Each structure stands twice: as C-alpha cells, then as structure tokens.
Amino acid sequence: MSKLARDHHNSDMVKIQIAKKQLNLSDEEYRAILQGQGGASSSKDLDHPGRQRVLDYFKFLGFKPAAAKQTKRPARPTPSADALPLVRRIRAQLISLGRLPDVYADGIAKQMLGDQAPEFFEWCQLRDLTKISQALSVEQNRKGAATQ
C-alpha cells in the first residue's frame, strides 16, 4: 500500500470512528451499517469504495465532519538593513548544516542571551548575530560541513 493510500485509509478510519461516536451508535447498529453499506463486519475489512459508502451513509444520518484546524505558521520578521547580511549568513550556515530550520538559530540566541533573548534571532543586535554566526561556524567545523 502506498503512503498516500495508507494516509487516506487512516483518515477514513478515523472519520468512521468519530461518526460512530458522534451519532451515538450502539455496537450492533454500527456493525449492521458496516455490513449493509460496506459488506464487512469490521471497518478494518472495508475497501476504499466501502469506506466511502459507509461515510456517505453516516452523513445521511447526520454526521458532520469537523474541518481540520489550520494553524497559520508565524511569518519570520524582516531584519533591519544593517542586520540583513548577517541574517543571510546565518541562514546559509543553517542550510550547510543539513537544512536546519530558523528556530535552531532562535534556540542558540535563547541559550546565549538567556532572558534578554528576543523571540526571533532576526531581532537580535548585530553583536549577538555575530555570536550566533560564530557558534554556527564552530558547529560547521565540528560536523565538517561546507563553509562557502
């Protein structure tokens, strides 16, 4: 089974179980619906069309699937013009260390500066950005990552 098919299978299985709970079905009613709509006694035994028929029937009975909550990823702040070259250098260093995320540099800033550390490393003072870049250089040398 491909990853996509497995993801759809797992998603459908979760929806079926949520619908069972939302519709307050007894075990006998639930199994009767599975047998009548999907031709199986267990939701694990349903194929894709069977799962879709069962879900459609649950929707007919009043099941309303809740929309997944989409959390908006916070945008990274735009650094000042004088800090931009150092921020670009730090991001290049993060990439050379295996495409580490920007939050890695945020963690270095918090570790170095303690309570005075801003939320994002882009808001650090120039001297602090230099320290972060130096710490990443040490890490690059330790791991043998490309420095240019």
Q: Model confidence over 24-33: pLDDT tens digits?
A: 999 999 999 9
Amino acid identity of 54? V
Same domain for 57 and 90, yes or no, is no
Same domain for 88 and 139, yes or no, is yes
For residue 72, is it within any domain?
no
Model confidence at 42, pLDDT cuts 50, 70, 90, reads: confident
Model confidence at 123, pLDDT cuts 50, 70, 90, reads: very high
For residue 132, is it within any domain?
yes
Q: Ramachandran region of residue 38, left (φ > 0), alpha (ψ -120 to 50) or beta?
A: alpha
For residue 12, is it within any domain?
yes
For residue 69, is it within any domain?
no
Please check the confidence at residue 85 and state whether its pLDDT lies above 80.
yes
For residue 70, is it within any domain?
no
Same domain for 54 and 11, yes or no, is yes
What CA–CA distance (Å, rounded) separates 38 from 45? 9
Exposure letters 6-20 (e unless 16+ CB within 10 A, then b)? eeebeebeebbeebb
Model confidence at 111, pLDDT cuts 50, 70, 90, reads: very high
Mean pLDDT of 10-20: 90
What domain count does the chain have? 2
For residue 77, is it within any domain?
no
Q: Which of 14, 30, 61 is the last residue of a domain?
A: 61
Model confidence at 75, pLDDT cuts 50, 70, 90, reads: confident
For residue 131, is it within any domain?
yes
Q: Which range marks the domain in which residue 48 is found?
A: 3-61
